[in-house]
Amino acid sequence: MDRDFAVTARHTVERAIGEHLDGTPLADPNQGKNPHAVALGRLGGQKGGKARAKSLNKEQRRKIAVLAAKKRWHGK
């Protein structure tokens, strides 16, 4: 991963405009993948945490949040 600001900025602009700055198209990240599998994965990703949170009760959500906070702040 590039950590140079200029390189990161260039990649961001290229993704925003949908092509390289020299006019060539960006590589398709889904090329060679099953389009049905991509669509299902995207659908699941859109549901994501909201669907999981709905399926948990208040105590389960609290336990997960406490564990996440301990992991995040451990040793700091």
pTM of the model: 0.42
From residue 48, give the alpha-carbon distance in Å to each of 34, 45, 56, 71: 21, 5, 13, 21
What is residue 2's predicted lDDT score, i.e. its pLDDT?
65
pLDDT, tens digit (0-9, with 9 covering 90-100), for 48-60: 888 888 999 999 9
What is residue 34's predicted lDDT score, i.e. its pLDDT?
93
Cα–Cα distance, 7 to 20 (Å, whole number):
12
Cα–Cα distance, 27 to 15 (Å, whole number):
10
Share of the chain above pLDDT 90, in %: 63
Helix (H) or strand (E) holding 22: none
pLDDT, tens digit (0-9, with 9 covering 90-100), for 12-29: 999 999 899 999 999 988
What is residue 26's predicted lDDT score, i.e. its pLDDT?
92
- For residue 76, pLDDT over 70 is answered with no
